[in-house]
Structure 1
Amino acid sequence: MELEKFHWFLIVMSVVALFVFVALYFVKAGYGMFRTSSWGLSINNRLAWMLMEAPVFVVMFWLWGHSGVGLSIPVYVFFLLFQLHYFQRSFVFPFLMKGKSRMPLAIVAMGVVFNVLNGLMQGGGLFYFAPDGLYEGGWSYFEQPHAVAGLLLFAAGMGINLHSDHVIRHLRRPGDTKHYLPVGGLYRYVTSANYFGELVEWAGFAVLTASPAAWVFVWWTFANLVPRADAIHKRYREEFGDEAVGKRKRVIPFIY
């Protein structure tokens, strides 16, 4: 792929994300608490998450291996951070899940397509189409203010995300299928603290790498998670009442 075509790829992905953002306020993605039989065939949730998330891990590994970047700093560090997230999401997170939930194959298929495309975006932006000189300097790159800020945001976002997932996993006792209102951690301020953590994490990655492709991924994360956080917030208010939910926002503390 040539540089101009890659830029058009990023533009098209950004426009598609806009349509997804609007559509998800009208159509609830049918997984988790919103799964219904209308979404068709479904598979075990653990297998679904692995099949859905692993492609981006594989694509990034393949692109890195064929790029010639090797262990070059700082790009190798960016690669490791990205792979750390998706190793956890693909090969650890599914096995921590409890219950016998299922995910529609249609959702899995859409997730696979996006993750393959996102792997091409991030790998292209870091390994093949980065502006000349952007990632020179070796370890000194991480002395720059934006790199320090990006690393701190990435680490904070990952920590929030992992802790929030832990809270959700322990809401139910074995065999219980009821819904509960999450409490503790950032759930004191928002009803989708796990989504907030993921937004912060990928915003930190974009700040750290200064990659346009990473910022497109932030936009995609926002477009996918914010409408779902709105739907979850409304469901919690219906199930538990306005008093129980209180002044908690949807996904961004004190804002939305």
Structure 2
Amino acid sequence: MMETMYHTLLYAMPVLAVIVFIALFFVKAGYGIFQSRQWGISLPNKVGWVLMECPAFLMMLFFWLQSPARSSSVLLSFFLLFELHYFQRSFIFPMLMKGKSRMPIAITAMGVLFNVINTFLIGYDLFYLHASTYTEAWFTTPSFIGGCLLFFGGMGINLHADHIIRNLRPAGDTRHYLPQKGIYHYVTSGNYFGELVEWTGFALLTQSTAAWIFVLWTFANLAPRAYAIRNRYREEFGREAVGSRKCLIPYIF
């Protein structure tokens, strides 16, 4: 039954990713810079982020603990990398947030659903279906080494970009500011770009089909939002202020 569910979701998720990619060009998620009451009842942003992200951390912990192959050092490295990201996103990132923004419960619920499905696909793939594939020799493969470099490089970009965004506003200021430092000198949505690089690295180092589908979903989710943020910045600060930067990914990021 679990394997049937895995394969069903594996085929369904890319199709849904395309649908979400198209839909997000017309519907803006009502949180962050696009916070809106039209999405209904909301939670404090910190609470929403913890509830949305922690299922991935807890579910992957369960998959690894229950796996008969959990003693594999290669699988342990996959587990630790995944958990490193979600520990930061679930418990550290929300606590560093400033301001009193809110997140609609509907957004939180959709985030929980996606994280549960994504973690199921990756966890079941790595720790059950293909666990025997990952021998000690995996550590010396170009895909693992290159993937690790991308993963930590993307994480570094993401953390640095979040730090810049958090420190744009003086205390008590609610206005929007155009970020220009660091990665934002090159891309409008540096934190999104970093996350895409990070999960591309994870997919490369694991060579997991489920992880590559996660990369597709990351792009499908973040690219339209980055495009919307770019347009918002152009409206507030002018086309020249936004378009003058050196774009690593023109137009979208």
The TM-score bracket by the shorter chain reads over 0.9
Would you say the 8 A contact 1:189–1:254 is kept in 2? no
When the two structures are superposed, what TM-score results if normalisation uses the length of structure 2?
Answer: 0.95
CA contact (8 A) 1:249 1:255 kept: no
RMSD (Å), alpha carbons: 1.5
How much does 1:24 deviate? Answer: 0.3
Corresponding residue for residue 134 of structure 1: 133
- Aligned-partner SS, 1:74: helix
Q: Which amino acid aligns with 1:190?
A: V
Work out whether residues 227 and 251 of structure 2, in 8 Å CA contact, stay in contact via their aligned partners in 1.
no
Give the partner amino acid of 1:226: A
Match of 2:144 among 139, 144, 147: 147
| Matched residue type, 1:128 | Y
Helix, strand or coil at the partner of 2:73: coil
**Residue in structure 2 matching 1:178, options 175, 180, 184:** 175
Aligned partners of 2:78 and 2:206 also within 8 Å: yes
5+ unaligned residues in a row in structure 1: which ranges?
A: none
Q: Secondary structure at the match of 2:171?
A: coil
Q: Is 1:220–2:217 an aligned residue pair?
A: yes
The corresponding residue for 1:26 is: 26
Distance 2:240 2:84 in 1: 39
Superposed CA deviations along residues 5-36 of structure 1, whole A, max 9, x for unmatched, are 42222111111111101100110111111111
CA distance in 2, matches of 1:28, 1:237: 16
Which residues in structure 2 correspond to 1:33-182 (within 5 Å)?
33-130=33-130, 133-136=132-135, 138=136, 140-182=137-179
Question: Is the CA contact 1:43–1:102 (under 8 Å) kept in the aligned structure 2?
Answer: yes
Change (3 A) 1:117 1:194: same
Distance in 2, matches of 1:253 and 1:240, equals 20
Q: CA deviation at 1:255?
A: 6.9
2:214 paired with 1:211: no
Identity rate, percent: 58
1:170-223 Cα offsets, whole Å, 9 max, x none, are 001111111000111110111101000000000000000000000010001000
1:199 and 2:196 matched: yes
TM (norm. structure 1) is 0.94
Structure 2 unaligned regions, length at least 5 = none
Structure 2 residue aligned with 1:253, among 239, 249, 253? 249
